[in-house]
């Protein structure tokens, strides 16, 4: 069969055909896989976005189409591809001091109380940033708390920062960011960050003294958690929007189990409890206190 070169000017050049819509069957398959693996709900109208994100994997694996990628995911050889699939579909948008009111609450209400309660006895303070993305959230927590703590060293203070996305965690742990991310911040919070000397003009690295306040780990919120707590504060911001009611309710119960009485839970700006929780009391804008 001869193919007219008038309609196919570059017949030997094969591009991954990510521009071809995912079939309903492939879309359902991906949506179920991502839901089972990460609890993330991909709705049908997100077809173009999903296709675009999977196109990266199509290219890396040398496949020709997203539909070939779906076929590959059904083979036993694809077991190790699950991490990459989840990395590809997660949305990592974040910012330093995003939703500033949480950090103001942390600095003005929570930290002074914890310091008063725990100091002198080498008391421990534990904070968990449970969907930390590229690190802007836990570094903002570290900078805020260091500012309140000052040079004191009589407290055992740690931040645990976790995310499901292994690629983004590498970035978070490195602590290297475009300098302009800090230039955009209000001067009072910008001044709370310490930077390593000798970085380039366009990039800066968070200083070791702030980086070592945080332990970064991979953790899937819908799987078993290895920590026993208790935590004084849990940040779970802008990830519930990807989960359904049942997943949110189950994670919330487990947060409550890990929070110390009087501890705080911060949710994202458009998030709320799926239903009232007997042990969580709303005390501010998306701020909940764990009742005794
Ligand atoms: C939009 S970012 C939010 C980052 C930060 N908390 C903030 O509010 O700026 C959502 C993060 O949730 C993570 N994520 C999605 N599903 C997850 C899961 N099942 N377990 C843990 N993290 C998850 C994503 O990888 C992503 O980095």
Domain parsing of the chain, residue ranges:
24-89, 100-290
Mean pLDDT, to the nearest integer, of 233-262? 97
Residues with CB under 6 A from ligand 1: 38-40, 90-94, 98, 131, 133, 137, 163-165, 168, 220-222, 237-239, 242, 268
Give CA torsion, residues 43, 49, 50, 54, to 10 deg.
-170
Q: What CATH homologous superfamily does 100-290 map to? A: Vaccinia Virus protein VP39 (3.40.50.150)
Task: Kindly give the distance from the C-alpha atom of residue 125 to the centroid of ligand 1, in angstroms, as a whole number.
Answer: 23
What's residue 19's pLDDT?
54
Q: Which of 73, 78, 76, 88 is nearest to 38 (CA)?
A: 88
User: Is the pLDDT score of 137 beyond 90?
Assistant: yes
List, for residues 21-65, the tens digit of each pLDDT value: 788 899 999 999 999 999 999 988 888 899 999 999 999 999 999
- CA–CA separation, 110 vs 107, rounded Å? 6
What's residue 3's pLDDT?
31
- Contact 34/40 with Cβ under 8 angstroms? yes
Mean pLDDT, to the nearest integer, of 133-161? 95
Residue 152's pLDDT band, with cuts at 50, 70 and 90, is confident
Collapsing DSSP to helix, strand or coil, 203 comes out as: strand
Q: Which of 26, 51, 57, 163 is catalytic?
A: 163
Higher pLDDT: 152 or 219? It is 219
Residue 72's pLDDT band, with cuts at 50, 70 and 90, is very high
Q: Cis ω on the peptide bond leading into residue 146 (within 30° of 0)? A: no
End-to-end CA distance of the chain: 77
The tokens for 13 are 């050049």
Number of Cβ atoms within 10 Å of the Cβ of 36: 11
Task: Kindly give the distance from the C-alpha atom of residue 129 to the centroid of ligand 1, in angstroms, as a whole number.
Answer: 10
User: Is the pLDDT score of 8 beyond 50?
Assistant: no
**Mean pLDDT score of the chain:** 91
What's residue 199's pLDDT?
65
Collapsing DSSP to helix, strand or coil, 224 comes out as: coil
User: Is the pLDDT score of 151 beyond 90?
Assistant: no
Collapsing DSSP to helix, strand or coil, 140 comes out as: helix
**Side-chain half-sphere exposure of 176, counting CA atoms within 13 A:** 10
The question of whether 53 is a catalytic residue gets the answer: yes
Task: Kindly give the distance from the C-alpha atom of residue 132 to the centroid of ligand 1, in angstroms, as a whole number.
Answer: 6
Mean pLDDT, to the nearest integer, of 187-211? 91
What's residue 186's pLDDT?
97
Q: Which CATH class is domain 24-89?
A: mainly alpha
Higher pLDDT: 200 or 48? It is 48
User: Is the pLDDT score of 88 beyond 70?
Assistant: yes
List, for residues 251-274, the tens digit of each pLDDT value: 999 999 999 999 999 999 999 999
């Amino acid at each position: 069969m001869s193919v007219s070169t008038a309609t196919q000017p570059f017949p030997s050049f094969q591009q991954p055909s990510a521009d071809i819509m995912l079939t309903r069957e492939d879309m359902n398959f991906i949506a179920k896989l991502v839901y089972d693996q990460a609890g993330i709900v991909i709705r049908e109208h997100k077809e173009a976005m999903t296709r675009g994100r999977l196109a990266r994997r199509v290219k890396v694996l040398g496949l020709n189409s997203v539909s070939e990628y779906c076929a590959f995911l059904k083979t036993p050889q694809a077991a190790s591809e699950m991490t990459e699939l989840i990395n590809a579909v997660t949305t990592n948008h974040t910012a330093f001091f995003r939703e500033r009111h949480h950090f103001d609450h942390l600095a003005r209400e929570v930290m002074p109380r914890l310091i008063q309660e725990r100091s002198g006895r080498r008391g421990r303070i534990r904070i968990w940033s449970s969907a930390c993305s590229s690190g802007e959230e836990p570094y903002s927590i570290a900078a805020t708390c260091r500012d309140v703590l000052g040079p004191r060293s009589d407290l055992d203070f740690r931040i645990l920062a976790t995310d499901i996305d292994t690629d983004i965690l590498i970035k978070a742990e490195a602590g290297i960011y475009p300098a302009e991310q800090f230039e955009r911040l209000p001067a009072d919070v910008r001044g709370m960050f310490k930077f390593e000397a000798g970085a380039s003009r366009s990039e800066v690295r968070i200083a070791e003294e702030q980086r070592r306040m945080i332990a970064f780990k991979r953790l899937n919120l819908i799987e078993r958690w290895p920590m026993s707590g208790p935590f004084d504060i849990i940040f779970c911001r802008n990830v519930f929007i990807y989960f359904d009611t049942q997943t949110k309710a189950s994670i919330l119960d487990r947060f409550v189990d890990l929070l110390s009485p009087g501890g705080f839970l911060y949710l994202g700006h458009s998030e709320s409890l799926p239903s009232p929780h007997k042990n969580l009391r709303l005390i501010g804008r998306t701020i909940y206190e764990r009742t005794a």
